[in-house]
Amino acid sequence: MDLITIAKNNIEANWKGSFTIPTARLYPFQWMWDSGFTSMGIALYDLEKAMTEIRTMFSGQWENGMLPHILFHSENETTYFPNYDFWMSNVNDGAPSHPKSSGITQPAVFGFVLEEIYLQHKNNPEVILFIKEIYPKVLAYHRFLYEYRDPHNEGLFFIYHPWETGRDNSPLWDESMDRIVIDPDTIPAYTRRDTQIANAEERPTSDQYDKYVYLLELGKKYKYDGPEIAEHSPVLIQDSMMNAILIKSNESLLNLARALDLDSTYLDQKQDLSIKTFKEKLWNQDLESFVCFDMRGNHQIAHKEIGGFISLFAGLASNEQAKVQADYLWSLHHRGYYLCPSFDVDSPLFDSKRYWRGPVWPQMNWMIYKGLLRYGYMNLANIVKNDLIELVSKLGFHEYFEAEKAKASTQDKGYGGPNFSWTSSCFLHLKLAE
Ligand code: GLC
């Protein structure tokens, strides 16, 4: 069977009637940014289904505008931890009672997802109606990020749980997580499910997991949107990737507003401030990279990692900044890495196998590919695209992949879950959409 058919079949197998799960067993619910990336691929062959996927995601939006990182559509599914009964989203009055959800968010992808779908189906009146229906919901979500997560009105929002960033166990969060001292009386007993399903060596450690639960409990204590979170959380970070994605999605919403005559007053005010602060606060000249900012420690998090490259996708880098980032990616290519490793390969914290501490992730390649095209780096963009296509062809539609070519050549499959939705979708998009 050809790879395009396999990709579609994977998505169809993960389709649960009104949404897709990322992969069977390991992630049996609807995840937010997975849903966004997956809907873009689905839109290339089944527009109705893609629109349903997005509508289902927004059926879980909270009254305050928050879009949860997981929607637990099936309350009978017990193989996942932390499940809806552990999150207890009903501590917040504005959380819908159905679908039940987590209490934290994930990268704000839906603005650019809507624009991608619009551009693919520009002349379809049904798509225009759909955009008009979803646009205010995406706007309400962006408003949530600015109003609940930007206490100093800087135009950058904070995260307080690593799961919000989508890069769960990246070394970026280590210093902040080290501030957490676990008192066994403050976190409830729990049993992990992920390590029963996936290889423990490819998953976060148990110490990290205790701290994830600690932060979940902290969010719950303050109803997931209280100002006390900013006051008390030991983890309070302006993530360069999350903010670049928000800025990119703002830009897409502004483009849609212009094309379809929609109200964009709120974003007109916010976008300039966000761009300005991002450029001033998050560039690190020594590392030649955009980095995250630790608001608790009041300093930049000085690590080179994949999130910094999303500045290209959002058009935030100057031409010189884009050039040094491109040169760095070329050097990794020449040193025998697949593009793009998720963490600095020269750091002692790099681990080519463990989740976000080194491996290559499909949706990141999709964004970086688009970013390099935006700055005119065609050849490098094609390497980013073809590396992912090669990994998928050789190692299957897995969740993530070995970054070192020499090691990958001895393997017969990728890491994490198999038949993964966003891997299939990004593959389809890179192959079929231009
Ligand atoms: C992991 C990833 C996260 C993703 C989720 C579902 O938690 O780190 O980015 O959304 O799995 O695929």
Cβ neighbors of 25 (< 8 A, separation 6 or more) are: 79, 197, 417
Which pLDDT belongs to residue 124?
97
Specify the ligand 1 atom closest to the Cα of 356: 8
* Cis amide bond preceding 82, omega within 30: yes
Q: How far is CA 12 from CA 19, 50, 198, 296, 429, in A?
A: 10, 12, 22, 44, 16
Task: Give the pLDDT of residue 79.
Answer: 84
* Ligand 1 mutation target, pool 21, 32, 34, most atoms within 8 A of CB: 34
Asked if 399 is an active-site residue, the reply is: yes
| Structural domains of the chain, with CATH | 111-432 (1.50.10.10)
Residue from 147, 168, 202, 288 carrying the catalytic annotation: 168
Say how many Å lie between the CA of residue 355 and the centre of ligand 1: 10
Q: What residues of the chain score a pLDDT lower than 50?
A: none
Cα 228 to Cα 170: distance, rounded to the nearest angstrom:
25
What is the model's pLDDT at position 67?
A: 98
Bridge pairing between strands 30-31 and 237-238 = unpaired
Expressed in angstroms and rounded, the spacing between residue 101 Cα and the centre of ligand 1 is 15
Closest CA to 301 of 434, 172, 148: 172
Check pocket membership of 27 for ligand 1, CB cut-off 6 A.
yes
- 31 CB within 6 A, ligand 1: yes
Place of tokens 């963009």: 381
- Per-residue pLDDT at 350: 97
Tell me if 29 CB under 6 Å of ligand 1. Answer: no
- Which mutation among 29, 31, 57, 367 tests ligand 1's pocket best, with the greatest number of atoms within 8 A of CB? 31
Q: Is 33 touching ligand 1 by the criterion CB < 6 Å?
A: yes
The CA distance from 363 to 107, in Å, is 12
Which of ligand 1's atoms lies nearest the C-alpha of 355? 8
Active site residue 53: no
Task: Measure the CA–CA gap between 43 and 20, rounded to whole angstroms.
Answer: 13
> How many whole angstroms separate alpha carbon 388 and alpha carbon 344?
19
Q: Is 168 in the pocket of ligand 1 (CB under 6 A)?
A: yes
- Compute φ and ψ for 100, nearest 5 degrees: -70, 155
**Ligand 1 nearest atom to the CA of residue 33, by list position:** 10
Q: Does 34 sit in the ligand 1 pocket, CB within 6 Å?
A: yes
CA–CA dist 87, 84 (Å, integer):
5
CB-ligand 1 contact for 420 (6 Å cutoff): no
Residue 195's pLDDT is what? 84
Beta bridge partners of 101: 71
